[in-house]
Amino acid sequence: MRRWLGLLLFVLLVSTPTLALAVGSCVLTSKELVAVQGQTQRIYITLTCTGDAGGIAAYTFTPATQGVRGWYLYNVTTNPGTNPPTAAYDIALLTDGEDIAGSLLFNRSATATESVVIAPTTKGYHMTDKAIAITFTNETDNPADIVLTLRFTSN
């Protein structure tokens, strides 16, 4: 009898749909090398992030893996995808707990493509030596697509 109850409990746990606790994710969708005077001086990296009922999970961007370690992040563009995100969603680019975008990626549009220059006047462009945690908050639409383009320069 215990064996049957155990088997029944197992089947119920496995077959019962769970609450939507998982969160969406980001994937690298393109990497464009831009040559200036015959040398690669710019790299544009595009991420496509898809949210679900749990939002979008933080994405760890590793500069060394993408060939931009020691390069400067100078521009970020957000573009709502086919399924628009929640209006006024926020993105933070965290390195050592600091938002290197300085809150410039907060309150993003759900319908328009927006670009920001990541260059605080007192600090200059951010050099990408360490991992950048790309985090999303206030995004609750299910599904939601956000295309994020990070632009780096070597000089």
Each domain of the chain, given as residue ranges in start order, spans: 21-153
Sequence-ordered strand ranges (E) for 64-143: 72-80, 90-95, 98-99, 114-117, 126-127, 132-137
Q: Give 140-151 pLDDT, tens digit per residue.
A: 888 899 999 999
Query: Each residue of 53-101: pLDDT tens digit?
Result: 788 999 999 999 999 999 999 999 999 988 999 999 999 999 998 898 9
Q: What's the topology of domain 21-153?
A: Jelly Rolls (2.60.120)
What percent of the chain has pLDDT above 90?
55
DSSP state of 52: B
73 in Cβ contact with 118 (< 8 Å)? yes
Residue 101 DSSP one-character state: T
